[in-house]
Amino acid sequence: MGTSIVWGVGIFLYLVAAWAALTWVSAPLALICAGVGALAGTVTALLLTGWVFTGGDSGVRVMTPEQVASGAAGGRKHPNLPRRDTAWAAYFAGPVVRDVRGVWGAVVRVTRRVWGFFWREELRQIYLALFPFTLPAAIGLAVFTLSGLGVALAVTVVTAALTTVLWLLGGALTWAMRGADRAYQAIFRSKTGCPHEDCWYVNPLPAYRCPGCGQAHRDLRPGRLGVLWHVCECGRRLPTTRLRAGHRLRPVCQRCLRDLALGAGKLTDVRVPVFGATSSGKSRFIMAAFGSLHLAAGDAVEAADIDSDRALRDYDRDLTADLGTAATAVVPPKAVTVRLRLPGRRLNGACLIHVFDAAGEYSQNREINEELSYLDHARTLAFVLDPFAVRAVSEQAGGDLLGRANRSLHDPEDSYAVTVQRLQAYRVKTHERCLAVVVSKADLLARMPLAAGLVPEDDSVRAWLAGQGLGNLVRMAESDFRSVRYFLVSSRKGAYGSGMDALVPLRWLLAEDGVELP
């Protein structure tokens, strides 16, 4: 009984004291605490922001090139390729999000720590008992927390605004640059064919090697890895677009990663497969054509790679010595590529010419013909026809002439059909392509009465072929291709400048592809 009265009095006194403290101490103290809390919260959060943005917070994970490659900055999934190149993401396309998250993380972390410091297990009872004095502190802490979160929110809003503006600007620039790049490619036909055997892939966009570390960058278009430049893992800045990378970086094939010619992807790219039966004169025709091209263009023409350089030297040696040409090995051929400067052009003043010379066996055998995928991607083709393979001619020619001609023993019509049927089987639109029919060994043919009246002109050659029993071939060619022209060619050194020059068909093929030779 007595104890309960003591308790009652005690509680009454406590409530009175608490009421007094609330009015006289807590109310003014709460104001001061709120002010201090607001100031402290703002300053703390700002300091944390600065700390995170200057890289002080090791908890903020850097978006590394490896992470970008595995999709940290988006990117389409490819079966066997990384999502993106191993390069740094543009700051506002990824890392910025991590930084802002880092600011929130730091603010929340510090706030929790402060609350945790005051709200300790052993002090809780005391706080509750002294609640009139605790209340202002609690108000101060609440304001501290709110202002800290407010700063984080402000950082987020400002960042979001800036990021949006930059995405709009960057997006517009990206769109314009990609558009210009593609328009340029379409106008100048600069998709580039890989010259390497068993690949021959036509690259709409070559990969480019970083000059610093040699890594191949497969997608140097403006985008999330940078609009004007990408930054390689090794720190090198690489210019974007084919136009800007074109002459500064080494292009490589997307499919086989072997080197392409410098400027590939930017320069006009002409691919000329030469086909025809064994010993019909293909290799010799190519030699003579390059020889004449060199005479006509001089320094403007140069080999685009080491192998082509060696091939051109060999060609020149054989032509000059007038050696017989050795049969081409039956292996998938690498193209011989030359770079030709075109002084007449202001934009894109050069082109790459790839000539593919496969052994005649490929034109006689349907099975191995399948391997030559470069045939499918050429806009222009050259078919070499040995006149001495025609029955009427070989019957009239004496043994001496036949021996010198080292004639082809295979039916020209069949060698034509093997290749063209292959093209059609692969749904290549041959009626959009051009064909040069090259009647070879004209120097020897000219000695025969049967060739009297035959002159190196389209109509004359066409009529002559039809007269020798090749009318069917002529009809097939003209129905298969958009444009067919007939040439009479002597692949010997003396023919340069004459109507029988091997450059005549090459000039026509290049012109059909938009390249006017000097």
Ligand X SMILES: Nc1nc2c(ncn2[C@@H]2O[C@H](COP(=O)(O)OP(=O)(O)OP(=O)(O)O)[C@@H](O)[C@H]2O)c(=O)[nH]1
The residues that touch Mg ion, with contacts defined as CB under 5 A, are 282-283, 328
CB 323 within 8 A of CB 337: no
Q: Does residue 212 bind other proteins (CB under 8 A)?
A: no
Q: For residues 85 and 220, give the distance between their C-alpha atoms in angstroms, rounded to a whole number.
A: 9
What's the token pair of residue 139? Answer: 């108000």
Residues 235-294 that bind other proteins (CB under 8 A): 235
Least distance from Mg ion to the Cβ atom of residue 358, Å? 8
For the chain, the straight-line distance linking the first and the last C-alpha, in angstroms and rounded, comes to 124
Q: At 436, is the secondary structure helix, strand, or coil? A: strand
Of residues 239-278, which lie at the interface with ligand X (CB under 6 A)? 276, 278
CA separation for the pair 348, 267 (Å, rounded): 6
Rounded alpha-carbon distances, angstroms, from residue 406 to 12, 257, 326, 357, 494:
128, 40, 11, 18, 19
Please tell me the distance from the alpha carbon of residue 475 to that of residue 478, in angstroms, as a whole number: 5
Q: Which of 391, 497, 385 is nearest to 442 (CA)?
A: 385
Q: How far apart are CA 371 and CA 63, in angstroms?
A: 44
CB crowding 334-346: b at 16 or more within 10 Å, else e: bbbbbbbbbeeee
Establish how many alpha carbons lie within 13 A of residue 123's alpha carbon, considering only the half-sphere containing its beta carbon. Answer: 9
Partner whose footprint covers residue 176, from Zn ion, ligand X, other proteins, none (CB < 5 to 8 Å by kind):
none
Please name the amino acid found at residue 74. Answer: G
- Which region among 52-60, 190-198, 297-305, 396-404 touches other proteins (by CB under 8 A)? 52-60
Q: Name which of other proteins, Zn ion, Mg ion, none residue 92 binds, using a CB cut-off of 5 to 8 Å depending on partner kind.
A: other proteins
Q: Which stretch binds other proteins (CB under 8 A): 137-145, 150-158, 273-281, 323-331?
A: 150-158
Alpha-carbon distance of 493 to 394, in angstroms, equals 24
Stretch that binds other proteins, among 73-81, 94-102, 272-280, 314-322 (CB under 8 A): 94-102
Could you say whether residue 406 binds ligand X (CB under 6 A)? yes
Q: Print the binding letters for residues 310-329 with ligand X: x by CB under 6 A, - otherwise.
A: --------------xx-xx-
271 forms bridges with which residues in the sheet?
354
Binding-site residue total for other proteins (CB under 8 A)? 32
- Residue 58 as a binder of other proteins (CB under 8 A): the answer is no
Pick 19 or 426: Cβ nearer other proteins: 19
Binding site for ligand X (CB under 6 A): 276, 278-284, 324-325, 327-328, 359-360, 406, 440-441, 443-444, 490-492
Binding site for Zn ion (CB under 5 A): 194, 196, 199, 201, 210, 212-213, 215, 232, 234, 236, 253, 255-256
Binding site for other proteins (CB under 8 A): 19-20, 23-24, 27-28, 31, 46, 49-50, 53-55, 62, 64-65, 88, 90-92, 95-96, 99, 154-155, 158-159, 162, 226, 231, 233, 235
